Amino acid sequence: MAEIANVVSVTRRIPAPATRIFAVLADPARHPEIDGSGMLRHALEPRPLSRVGDAFVIAMHNDEMGDYEMTNHVVEYEPGRRLTWEPVLSRASREEDVAGVGGSAHQRWSYTLVPESADVTVVTETFDCTESPEWLKNAVRGGKRWEGAMSATLERLESLTTSIPTA
């Protein structure tokens, strides 16, 4: 059996300044707009992220789990360059998921921004489940389950950040 990588990344060159892109990524209220998975509904108590240690809660839905909430803990924050969070299930609607509330699945979502010029940024979205339990690694196929959604997210991020008029 082939070993699963457990880390997947998707990269896109976006014709927008890194600061503009980062502003969208650091605003949880904007996440449903760029979400390529279709699972994010809205941010609860939305406010922009400003440092490591911040947390934000996203109301979510999928056919498998129904309605649920994820609390995302910021573990890396470098303005204009990098944003990483670790999600924790904080509310579940299915009885079989309630036992997992509050427990960490030890996964990470991150965005890395590398300015190519003042108006062009290479953006990489990464999902890392290296430290996740085996059941999660299997469920997301080592992260491969998310590749299509990640590509769609970066496409939406480009559309949103390039449609903003420049000053």
pTM more than 0.85: yes
CATH number attached to the domain at 7-158: 3.30.530.20
> pLDDT for 111-126, tens place per residue?
999 999 999 999 999 9
Q: For the chain, state the CA radius of gyration.
A: 16
Cβ atoms within 10 A of the Cβ of 46, count? 14
| Domain extents in the chain | 7-158
pLDDT in tens, 75-88: 999 999 999 999 98
Identify the pLDDT of residue 97.
62
pLDDT by residue (tens digit) across 15-25?
999 999 999 99
Q: Which of 147, 111, 98, 99 is CA-nearest to residue 28?
A: 111
**How large is the angle between the packed helices 147-162 and 18-25, nearest 10 degrees?**
120
Least-confidence region, from 92-96, 145-149, 150-154: 92-96
- The residue-averaged pLDDT of 151-162 equals 97
